[in-house]
Amino acid sequence: MRDPRYDILFTPIKIGPVTAKNRFFQVPHCNGMGHAMPLAHAAMREAKAEGGWAVVSTEECEIHPSGDLTPYVEARLWDDRDIPALALMCDKVHAHGALAALELSHNGPTASNLYSREVLLAPSHQPSKYGYPSQARAMTLHDIREYRRWHREAAIRGKRAGMDIIYVYAAHDLSLAMHFLQRRRNQRSDEYGGSLENRVRLLREVLQDTKDAVGDSCAVALRFATEELLGPGGVELAEAKEIVGMLAELPDLWDVNVAAWYNDSVPSRFAGEGAQEPFIDFVKQTTSKPVVGVGRFTSPDTMASQLKRGVLDMIGCARPSIADPFLPRKIEEGRIDDIRECIGCNICVSGDMTISPIRCTQNPTMGEEWRKGWHPERIAPKRSASRVLVVGAGPAGLEVARALGQRGYEVSLAEARKELGGRVTREARLPGLAEWARVRDWRVGQIDKLANIAVYLDSALTAQDVLDFGAEHVVLATGCHWRRDGYGRSNGFAIPGLANNPRVFTPDDLMDGRLPEGRLVVFDDDGFYYGSVAAELLRLRGCEVIHLTPDDSIAPWSQHTLDYRHIRKRMTKLGIEAMVSHDIVSYDGTTLTVEDVWTHQRRELACDAVVTVTARVPDDALYQELLRREPEWPTAGVQSLRCIGDAEAPGLIAHAVYAGHRYARELEEPASGEVAFKRHFHTADADDLLRGSPA
């Protein structure tokens, strides 16, 4: 039964000519599938609708070849041939009683046109935003009229596809409608530049065009960024309040946030739940139209509070809807403890950044709904009465035990330490990573509900213990440990002076409470979050810290998760020195010799200790010993042995969770061939191929 405190979240709300059945709104979010993988995209959105979201939105949808986002894979409505892919999504979403929303966008100077080869468009002449060696040209009045026509026609196509809500996009520094608002991008002297009224003109016209075109049956939403945190060059809160006042009643729905994306989807390390409230709480006081906003909402109490206090009318979610597509239904059914809460790691964002299907640390089924037929809540029942022994209760071990238990298998989970969670528990104690413990907590909570799973702590098993246990299937998820000899991406051999040096530390030492003191160098050859977290931890304890990396930038992979700018700002605030493009030559315990990777010039640094963040070694000794004793398996009743997660190949927590889930899904199931997932294949009529015409 639903807790009455949350009744407000389940009241319908009218949005222009349509009605949302509740207050849960999956706002537009990228997914790396888009127009290239329409079946996968539709299945992913369908899971949200089935899970109870009243509105399910697309990602950015390109409206014209001059706004081509290649290599990024978004939605597309260049012409009528793009309608079927989005119609498929609408059908899937409507089947579960949800509304489908379409975010139309032309990205102007933030597009690439690498595929279309069209000239970039912008309010004024300017370089392309993302480093391409080209510029956008200033739009003429004819161009502006054409842009309005493209947007109107795309809105009509969206309506024909079955969309219920059509967006006008003016957020994230990613759309012409926003670019015309910005003083740094709009330096025009005609009726579309200069005064705020003039800079708002195009946005007003596009909103009115869209309402005129589809407003009879579709709601028109405005996604608007109220603050860019760039000062006078960007949209500022004071100016945003004027803009909202000018347009207050024109859209049917206001979707408000901060820009750019790295300020909107801030990792949990740098912002908590509801962090955007101070930037958007004025909107609802300015308009009578419904307002939706985001804040990585995971707590039903926080969500209800947003509505009761008059901050929002609808709870907008992207990342929480990825971590748990069934979040609304679980609240409605009174299953709050079953919510798989987002940890704010932004691995989902990395899918878009790496041009690959979306992934999630908490939800291993995300992106696999069509490819592998994985449902976020349902799983096939067990095939036999076989028993399974899982050794290691880190993220892989917990997930495999939980999912096998859900299937109905009898599972024994043995953990050598006195606490569950493995690396998740240990990393969650580091600065800013506390929410990552949700990976452990949700799985432990689910395991505790299953009588067919037995958990044994402080139980280090030998090969003989495993063979004596009597389980038919054995899964080893024993984790890994960090190297301390400097071997890694940049060094194919140990660095002289690091191995067996008592003044050399690893992330394992830090997590175990063995901390260095004095003047330190954190040597980051990993490139993600570990190096900067280690540097922050030690700086907060009073150490003088240099963050040294062979890469040309600090934590380069963190750009894929939107951490990078926040890491640099945090390091600067704390007084952590960054030294890029330098490798370690040797260390004698007091002096560190480093070398510029480009000039090969060397220098010496006084150094009391070095923290190496380089490579990890699988803890697979038990696996190797059991392989050597394979002839004994039949007598012991062992039918299969698998090594998974970091014990097989160290990676992200997301990799470990996926490995555990995949094993559980596939145990005793028939093999599906060499390619264990479905793919999109594009077919064409033979005559079309011969003529070279589009299929």
Compute the distance between CA of residue 120 and CA of residue 683 in angstroms, rounded to an integer: 31
Q: How does DSSP classify residue 70?
A: T
CA 646 to chain centre: 21
Q: With 0-12 CB in 10 A as exposed, 13-18 as middle and 19+ as buried, what is 666?
A: middle
Cross-strand partners of 316 = 25
Integer-rounded Cα radius of gyration of the chain: 27
3-state helix, strand, coil in the chain (%, to 5): 35, 20, 45
Q: Which of 35, 64, 106, 172 is catalytic?
A: 172
Contact 394, 477 (CB under 8 A): yes
Of 265, 273, 338, the C-alpha closest to 299 is: 273
Of 306, 252, 304, the C-alpha closest to 275 is: 306
Q: Which of 252, 264, 338, 509 is catalytic?
A: 264
Compute the distance between CA of residue 656 and CA of residue 392 in angstroms, rounded to an integer: 12
Where are the extended beta strands (E) located within 452-601? 453-456, 473-476, 480-482, 504-505, 519-524, 544-548, 577-579, 582-587, 591-596
The yes-or-no answer on residue 658 being catalytic is no
Q: Which amino acid is at 611?
A: V
The yes-or-no answer on residue 547 being catalytic is no
Handedness of CA 622, 623, 627, 633 (dihedral sign): positive
Q: Which residues of 201-239 are buried (b: 16+ CB within 10 A; e: fewer)?
A: bbbbbbbebbbebbbeebbbbbbbbbbbeeeeebbbeeb
Structure tokens at 369: 């709904």
Residue with tokens 């949800």: 98
The yes-or-no answer on residue 663 being catalytic is no
Is residue 173 left, alpha or beta, with left meaning phi > 0 and alpha meaning psi from -120 to 50?
Answer: left
Q: Which of 6, 72, 167, 169 is catalytic?
A: 169
Contact 188, 194 (CB under 8 A): yes
Q: Which of 6, 30, 72, 151 is catalytic?
A: 30
Q: What are phi and psi of 532, to 5 degrees?
A: -70, -35
Contact 605, 591 (CB under 8 A): yes
Task: Describe the crossing of helices 38-50 and 83-94 by its angle, rounded to 10 degrees.
Answer: 20
Strand, helix or coil at 207? helix
Compute the distance between CA of residue 221 and CA of residue 313 in angstroms, rounded to an integer: 14
Peptide bond just before 618 cis, omega within 30 deg: no
Per DSSP, helices labelled H in 182-293 are 196-214, 237-247, 261-264, 277-280, 283-286
Compute the distance between CA of residue 510 and CA of residue 521 in angstroms, rounded to an integer: 14
Where are the extended beta strands (E) located within 429-555? 453-456, 473-476, 480-482, 504-505, 519-524, 544-548
The yes-or-no answer on residue 342 being catalytic is no
- Is residue 322 within a helix (H) or strand (E), and if so which, with residue range? helix 319-323
Q: Angle at CA 70, nearest 5°, toward 64 and 74?
A: 70
Side by side, the strands of the sheet bearing 387-391 are 453-456, 410-414, 387-391, 473-476, 640-643
- Is residue 565 within a helix (H) or strand (E), and if so which, with residue range? helix 564-574
Compute the distance between CA of residue 346 and CA of residue 358 in angstroms, rounded to an integer: 10
Catalytic residues: 30, 169, 172, 264
